[in-house]
Amino acid sequence: MAPSLSFQEESREHLLSVDEEAGDGDHREVKFEVRDLVKESLTGSTILDKVNVDIPRASIVGIIGPSGSGKSTFLRSLNRLWEPPVGSVFLDGQDICQMDVLTLRRRVGMLFQLPALFEGTVADNVRYGPQLRGKKLSDQEVYKFLGLADLDASFYDKNHNELSIGQAQRVALARTLANEPEVLLLDEPTSALDPISTQNIESVLLKLKNSVGMTIVMVSHSIKQIQRIADVVCLLVNGSVVEVLKPDQLSEAKHPMALTFLQLSS
């Protein structure tokens, strides 16, 4: 079915009004602009259908929607893990297709559902990204990134295979933060974690947003999680952004598929 343009237009209005209400000059700035982003599968079916959305700087944007609606594909298009068409994704106003892809991925870090650490110690993992660019992190710098990910100094020497999944996810976060990204893309980062590890990650994300103005785009299946930490929520259905709402306005969603999804999820 063709996307409802009116829903998309309306969605953008919602997003802009969230910006204005923030009342802070920095929050009004748009970090990512996504314009008419489309993706078809090899067999010609629609995966992303003219997605139009603005991601405000220094905010947490939650992406929710039914399985197969295109959430991961959308997220991956923001750092070219999936290559979007030219002229559809802009970071600070620049088309990401025109940027050096490694520079883009340093600026736009990504964390997946399950952490995949490299062989070696936690410190080796944290040093990995900067080392690729010829920079050796000092011990103090490694401790700083561990601290940002809510890991104390005792983790420095631990081997990658002696960590719980929750700890490993925080090491993966520290490793991503060592690249000093401006944006974090998170694809269900806590779905494999227990409630305490989940809360640790959520509080780290809030701290990053508030202290360093990190822009965070997070796919989550947990509506409650989105309501706890997101500033704005995009509802993706069949490859279209059908609603953009504040987390406490989810019950006001109008799109029928979105409503059904929200009712079943709550």
Mapped onto helix, strand or coil, the DSSP state of residue 100 is: coil
Q: Which does 68 bind (CB under 5 to 8 A by kind): ligand ATP, Mg ion, none?
A: ligand ATP
Q: Give the containing element (helix H, strand E) for 200.
A: helix 195-212
The tokens describing 248, both together, are 């406490």
Based on the shown chain and the rule CB under 6 A, indicate whether residue 53 belongs to the binding site for ligand ATP.
no
**Per CB under 6 A, which region of 70-78, 89-97, 154-162, 194-202 contacts ligand ATP?**
70-78
Give the span between the Cα atoms of 47 and 31, in whole angstroms: 24
Based on the shown chain and the rule CB under 6 A, indicate whether residue 6 belongs to the binding site for ligand ATP.
no
- Residue 188 Cβ vs Mg ion, minimum distance, rounded to whole Å: 7
Q: Which does 67 bind (CB under 5 to 8 A by kind): Mg ion, ligand ATP, none?
A: ligand ATP
Based on the shown chain and the rule CB under 6 A, indicate whether residue 44 belongs to the binding site for ligand ATP.
no
**Per CB under 5 A, which region of 11-19, 38-46, 70-78, 191-199 contacts Mg ion?**
70-78
Exactly one of 1, 23, 67, 100 binds ligand ATP (CB under 6 A); which one? 67
CB distance 200 to 167 below 8 Å: no
| Beta carbon nearer to ligand ATP, 11 or 220 | 220
| CA-CA-CA-CA dihedral for 90, 231, 183, 190, to nearest 10 | -130
Mapped onto helix, strand or coil, the DSSP state of residue 241 is: strand
- Residue 124 Cβ vs Mg ion, minimum distance, rounded to whole Å: 29
Based on the shown chain and the rule CB under 6 A, indicate whether residue 70 belongs to the binding site for ligand ATP.
yes
Give the span between the Cα atoms of 252 and 259, in whole angstroms: 8
Maximum pairwise Cα distance, the chain: 55
CB distance 182 to 31 below 8 Å: yes
By CB under 5 A, the count of residues binding Mg ion is 1
| Beta carbon nearer to ligand ATP, 41 or 154 | 41
- Phi first, then psi, for residue 223 (nearest 5°) are -65, -35
- Residue 84 Cβ vs ligand ATP, minimum distance, rounded to whole Å: 13
| Beta carbon nearer to ligand ATP, 6 or 41 | 41
CB distance 198 to 230 below 8 Å: no
Based on the shown chain and the rule CB under 5 A, indicate whether residue 220 belongs to the binding site for Mg ion.
no
Based on the shown chain and the rule CB under 6 A, indicate whether residue 47 belongs to the binding site for ligand ATP.
yes
Subset of residues 72 to 111 that bind ligand ATP, contact rule: CB under 6 A? 72-73
Mapped onto helix, strand or coil, the DSSP state of residue 18 is: helix
To 5 degrees, how large is the angle CA 67–CA 43–CA 96? 70
Based on the shown chain and the rule CB under 6 A, indicate whether residue 69 belongs to the binding site for ligand ATP.
yes
- Residue 46 Cβ vs Mg ion, minimum distance, rounded to whole Å: 16
Residues written for the chain:
266
Exactly one of 11, 52, 72, 215 binds Mg ion (CB under 5 A); which one? 72
The tokens describing 200, both together, are 């640790």
Query: Where do contacts with ligand ATP occur on this chain (CB under 6 A)?
Result: 41, 47, 65, 67-73
